[in-house]
Structure 1
Amino acid sequence: MLIGEDTEVPANQDKDEQNSDLATDKQRDTAAQRLAAIVESSEDAIISKTLDGTIISWNAAAEQIYGYTAEEICGQSIAILVPPDRHDEIPQILQHIRRGERIKQFETVRVRKDGRKIYVSLTISPIKDNQGHIVGAATIARDITRRKQREEKLLWLSRALEQSPVAVTITDTVGNIKYVNAKFTELTGYPKEEVIGKNPRILQSGKTPIEEYQRLWESITSGGEWQGEIQDKKKNGEIYWVREHISPIKNPQGEITHFLAIGEDISERKQIEQALQESEERFRQVARMTGEWIWEQDPSGHFTYCSGAVKEILGYEPKEMLGKHYCEFFTPEAQESGVCKSPDEKRFFRFISHYLHKDGHEVFAESSGEPILDEQGRIIKWLGVDRDITQQLEAQELIRRSQISLAVARNELRIARQIQESLLPTEPLILPEVEVVGYCLPASQVGGDYFDYYHRPDHRVDVAIADVSGHSVGPALFMVETRSALKAQIRSKFTAANTLAALNDSLYEDLNRADHFITMFYMQYHIGTGEINYASAGHNPPLLLRGDGARCTKLEADGLIFGVKKEVSFEEKRTFLEKGDIMFLYTDGIIEAESKQGEFFGIKRLCKILMTNRHLAPQDLIKVVVKNLQDFCESKTFKDDVTMVVLKTI
C-alpha cells in the first residue's frame, strides 16, 4: 500500500517516531559527553584544526604539554607550535590529510609557549562531516622529550664505549661475554661476533698464574673489585700486557647481573720498563768495562761507596776513599777556586773536576751526579759517575793546535790563489789572423798552473803553459819567478828551445833547493807565414786540429822538466798552421780528471770533443770542454787545476 498526501497517519505512530528521535538525541549527547570526558582526561594532547591549519579545539593535556590555554590558542594557526626550521612539515601533513591518509607516530619537534623545544610523537587523522567530506584534522600529541633524552644519553654512552681508548668487556654472572667495544677488537684481534657468548679465558696466555685468576673471580663474585696486570694472548698468538679493572654491575635490588672489565694495553710501558732494567744493567757493565768510576756520597759530600775503577783513575783503593770528602782529592788550585763550597741541591752533568792522582800528577775527570731525595725533598745521598778525560783533553789541545796550523795553511792558500790569479792574462788576444784565449779553473787546493801569451813587436805571438809541482804559497812564488824570467826573455831573439834552456838555468837552483819541478810548453807563432816553433820541458803535448777536422795530432818534443839539472838542451820543432786550424794547450788536470767510477777523462775523449766542436770560437770551445769535464766528474770543482789555452787561426 502506497502512502500519499491523502493518506492519514495514525496518531500513535507519529508519537512513537518522536519518542525514538528523542532517545537517539539523548544517546548522542551521552556519547558526546563521554567522548569529551575522555579527551579532557587524556594524558596526550588532543587538538583539532581546520584544513587551513586553524586550531579549533584544545584539551587540558595540550595545555600541559604546550603551555597555552584553550582561550589563548584556539583560532590561532598550528604554525605557532612549529619551529621555523620545520615549517615545511605543515603543508606536507595537510596534504596527507586532504587525501584522507592517517599519519601514525610521526616524531618531530615543537615549541612551547615559553620557547622551549620539546620532542613529540604525533598521530594525525582526517575529520569528516556527515556527508563524508574531510573538513579538518585531529592530532594526538605525546610528549616524548624524556624518552628522547634517555635515548640520546644511551647513544652518547654507547659512543663513549665504542670510542673508548681502553678495551671494554661486559659478561654475565657466569663469565659469558655479552659485549665488547671496538678497542677490544683492535687490542685482541677478535671480531665482536667471534667472542660474544664465549668466556674470556680464550685470551689466557698461560703466563699468568692460575691462582691470580682464582683471586680475581673470588673478589668480583663477592661484590668487590679487582685490578692488576696480566699477560693475555691475541688471536694471532702474540702475547701482550694489559692492566685490568673488573667490577660488578648491580640492579636496583643490589643483585649482581653483569661484570664490567676495562683493559688498558700496557705492553709498551712494560717494554720500556724491561728496556730500562736492561739499560741499567748494561750501564753497570759498560761502566765496569770502560773504567768509569761510580760513586755514592752522603748529603755532605763524603764517599760512602766507590767502584773499583777509582784505582785506575786516581790510584786509590776504593776503601781508601770511604769517609773522605771529595774535595780532599782535588788539586790545591781547584780547592781554592770555590768548587768545594756547599753543593747546590741540583744535579750536575759533565762538570770538569781537577783531581790529584795518588802519585801526584793531575787528572781531569768528567763528573756527573744527581741527588736522591726523600718524600720531603731532602737529600738522602748523591749518586754519580766520573770518567777520566785527561787523554781526551790532551787530544783536544792537539786538535786546537792543528786547527791553528790549518788556519795558517788556509791563509797561505788564499794568498797563493791571489798570486796565481794575478799572474794570468785577464783578456783574450785577438788579432786579424789569430785569436788566443786562456782559462784556468782553480782546484779546491791551489796548484801551480800557469799560462801566458804575448804579441811581440816582430809579428810574433808567444804562448806558454806551465805546471809547478806542489800546492800553496811555494809553487805560487815559483810561478811569479817563472813569469818574471819569461818576461825577461821577451826582448831577446831566442828560439823556443833556447827560451826553455834559459828558464831552466835561471830556475834550477831555487827548484832544486825547494824540491820542486816545473813542466812547460812554449811556442812561437809567426803572423803572416803561419809557422810555429815549439819546445817542451816534459809538459803534456798540445793538440793540433786541422780545419778539415780530419785528425787530432799531438805536438810532441823531447825535453827534461825544469829543476832536474842545469844546462839542458831542448828539442825544437816546427809546423805550419792554416786558416781554421786550432792549437789546444792544456795541463794534466784535464786528462787525469776522474769520474766517480774511477775512469780517467783521457786524451781520446778530449780529442773527440775538440773535433766535434772545432767550428766554435776559442771562448765557446773552452766552455764546451769545461761542461763536458764537469758532467764526466759529476762535480763543479776538481782535485787539480784545470788550465787550457786555445789558439785559432782566422
Structure 2
Amino acid sequence: MEVGYAVRNSQGEVVRMIGSIRDVNHEVILKNRLKSSYQRLSEFRKALDQSTNIILTDLDGIILDANQSTVELSGYSKEELIGSHTRVNRSGYHPKEFYQTMWNTIKAGKEWKGELKNRRKDGSHYWVFTTIFPLKDKFGNVYRFLAVRTDITEQKEAQEKIFQSFEKIKASEKKYSDLFHFSPLPMWVFDLDTLRVLDVNEAALTNYGYDRDEFVGISIFDFRPEDQVGTMKEFLEKNPGNFTVSKEKFIHQKKSGEQMIVEIFSIPIEFEGKLAQLVLANDVTTTVRYLEKVEAQNKILKDIAWTQSHIVRAPLARLMAIVQLIKDGIVDLDELNQYLGLLDSSALELDQVIREISEKANKLEN
C-alpha cells in the first residue's frame, strides 16, 4: 500500500512529497478470512432458514422480520406478517394465562421455551416448539425478541390420536385389549395401590429389554434411574391416588442401563377388578436431542450476530477513519507513524474478532 500527500508552501506550490509504503499482505489475508467466514455463516443461515422458523419482534410483539420458513408454515406473506402482532398466529387453544406467563418471562430478560398451537392464514392449525430469546443492548436492556420455532405438527398429531384412543378405551374393553396387545408402542398397566406392573405388551418388553416374568410385578420405580426416583415420587405426591388422563415427560432406564427420554400418556382403568393405570411410553429421545441441537445452534448464531453488529464495527470504523485521514493528507509527518501504529493495532483487533467468529462457525459445523 502506498500512502502519500503533497506539502505546499504559502503560494500553494508543491515543495515536497511525503509518502510511505506499507506491506498490506496482512490486511489482504484478514479481508479474505473475513469474506470466508461470512460466506460460511451465510451457508449456515441458509440451512437454518430452511428448517427453522425465525421471527423478530419489538417489545410489544409487533413483527419486524420473519424468514421464508415462517412464511411457508404460516401461509402469510412476509409483507402481511411484518407490522402485524404475533397474535395473528393464535389458535385459541392456549388460555390467556399461558401467554401472560410467556410475556412476563421474556420481558424480565429470561428465555422462554414451550409448545405452541398456532393457526395458519387458511384456518388450519400447526404446532411449533418455540424458544424466545430477549435481545439486549449494551446496557443490558431488552429491546427486541427473537423467536426460533421448529415445526412439530406431525409428532403432536400422532400423539393426539393416541391420546384420543386412550379416552375411548374407557367404553370398550375389547378396544383396550386390541390397542394394548397390538400396539407398536410400549404399554403396561400398573396397580394404583402397590404401584407394581400388572400387565405389559410385547413392544414394552422389546424396548426395555426385559422378559415378561421380569417386567410383570416390578415397581414403576424400577425402570427409572436412581436420580429420577425422587422426581417420580414428587409427581405421585402431587397426585395421591387421584390419577387422571395425563401426559408427562420422564427419563426411563432399560435393563441394559441405557437411558431414554419418554413421553408418558396414562389413563385410569379397571383391570381385573383393581383400580389401575394404563400407560403408553413414547420414546422421544431423538426428537428432544434434535431440538436441543437446534437450540444450541441458534444460540451460537445469536452470538455471531451480536459479535458482527457490536464488536466488528469498532476496529473496522477506526481502520476506515485512519485510512481516510492519511488519504486526505490531513495527517502530518510527525503523526504518520502514530496513525500507522493505530492502523496496525486495529487490524490485529479485527483479526482476533474474525478468528472468534470462525471458531463459533466451526462449532455449528460440528
**TM-score, structure 1 as length reference:** 0.26
Q: Which has the higher helix share?
A: 2
Larger RCO: Structure 1 or Structure 2 (Cα < 8 Å, ≥ 6 residues apart)?
Answer: 2
**TM-score, structure 2 as length reference:** 0.44
